[in-house]
Structure 1
Amino acid sequence: MSSHELGRWVPARPEDLAVMFAKADFPWWIAGGYAIEMAVGRELRPHGDLDVLVLRRDQTLVRDMLSDWDMHVADPPGVGWLRPWRSGEALEQPLHDIWCRRTPEAPWSVQLMLDEAEGAHWVSRRTRRVRLPLERVGRTSPTGIPYLAPEVQLFYKAKATRDKDETDFEAVLPLLDEPQRVWLSDSIAVTSPDHPWRQRLGPIDRT
């Protein structure tokens, strides 16, 4: 089933989400293409949705905060099937992709993504070998909106690159410092050792 058959999208803006999450007492980050745009400080392309990343351990807090929203989880992920995410239900791996809208009649506006954590470390849902201290996972925009660090977002985009992912990579590449490039190259190597982005990240100084 295509996303079109699942209903239309009118994505919220990062500013809208910041208002919705203003009272959140858990970490969250704008993700996807908007995160890359916030890193480079300009618009790059149109967006079909708005992604926000939260930690799986905080899912109950998110569900309670959006208790009056209509929320559906992709189960199984990547197949095109959605089912309601009921209040009080704990989503276990591999479930991580949740579509959100204000009412059943409204268009989808937010795509909520769950990721893993161990203590003070973020852990990729794709492999536990890729991780970072939580304080390095995000950045904050000049307007105070948290967003996913570009190297983390690019790691996720590297799985199956599309034209829009290439656009995002080229835009943010000049802004990555050496530690960011090292982490991104090493992280991509865990799942895709021959990925072309690794060469384009340039020679890595490990001295």
Structure 2
Amino acid sequence: MPRTETPWGPWELAPLAEVVTLFQDLAAPWWVSGGYAIELAAGRSFREHGDVDISVLRRDQLSVRALLADWDVHAADPPGTLRPWPVGEVLPDHVHDIWVREHSDGPWRFQVMVDEAENDVWVYRRDARIGRPLSTLTIREDGVARIAPEVQLLFKAKNSRPKDERDFAEVLPILDAVRRRWLDEALAIEYGDHPWRERLRTNQPLID
């Protein structure tokens, strides 16, 4: 895996399969998110990745930290900085980004993203007006859950970078009418207008 530098130390991504194997021992919901989730939806690899993202629910955070007891784990608290996350500490509500590495002298290996939920409903952390049943948030294939592509695209729609535009273009043809409609409505709630909305409505899905 390529090595990249950051102000908080280098990144050397763990293979996705290794991270998935690690999380198989977590007795709580978790799922692959980020760019790898988009590639899993597309069914092929089409670009390089800067990180490996696993998402969990905030209410399960202590179980996650216990799973990673032997790892060096830091919280982005406040965002833009890193500080150690001790085993047993409940994170403040504003923390949603966790960096993980084997030890303090090693490179960062993957990230854990903390999502919100109320009972059985997932709540979008950037706009609580947007949500959906947890039962529809992920897609499970070959024993591994990944975030639904339209939900990941909602995260990517804010200040989209070239890689986010590529992800949108790659996954758009496989979104059915229901998934397109959900993303269109979510973008309307958060942004009012967004350049992806027209493309969601005018590009016909392959399946309906």
* TM-score calculated relative to the size of structure 2: 0.92
1:25-56 superposed Cα distances (whole Å, 9 cap, x missing partner): 11111111000000011001001110111000
Greater alpha carbon shift after TM alignment, 187-196 vs 171-180: 187-196
Aligned twin of 1:103: 103
Percent identity among equivalent residues? 49
**Across the two proteins, how many residue pairs are aligned to each other?**
200
Amino acid at match of 1:54: V
1:50-199 to 2 correspondences below 5 Å:
50-77=52-79, 79=80, 81-141=81-141, 143-199=142-198
Give structure 1 regions of 4+ aligned residues with deviation exceeding 4 angstroms: none
Consecutive unaligned residues in structure 2, runs of 5 or more: 204-208
Instruction: Kindly state the Cα deviation for residue 86 of structure 1 after the two structures are TM-superposed.
Output: 0.9
Greater alpha carbon shift after TM alignment, 8-17 vs 42-51: 8-17
Aligned twin of 1:15: 17
1:74-115 superposed Cα distances (whole Å, 9 cap, x missing partner): 1112x2x10001111111221111100111111101111001
Consecutive unaligned residues in structure 1, runs of 5 or more: none
C-alpha distance in structure 1 between counterparts of 2:178 and 2:15, whole Å: 30
Greater alpha carbon shift after TM alignment, 156-165 vs 84-93: 84-93
RMSD of equivalent CA atoms:
1.5
SS in 1 for 2:55: strand
SS in 2 for 1:127: coil
Structure with more contact order per residue of length (Cα contacts < 8 Å, sep ≥ 6): 1
Amino acid at match of 1:57: R
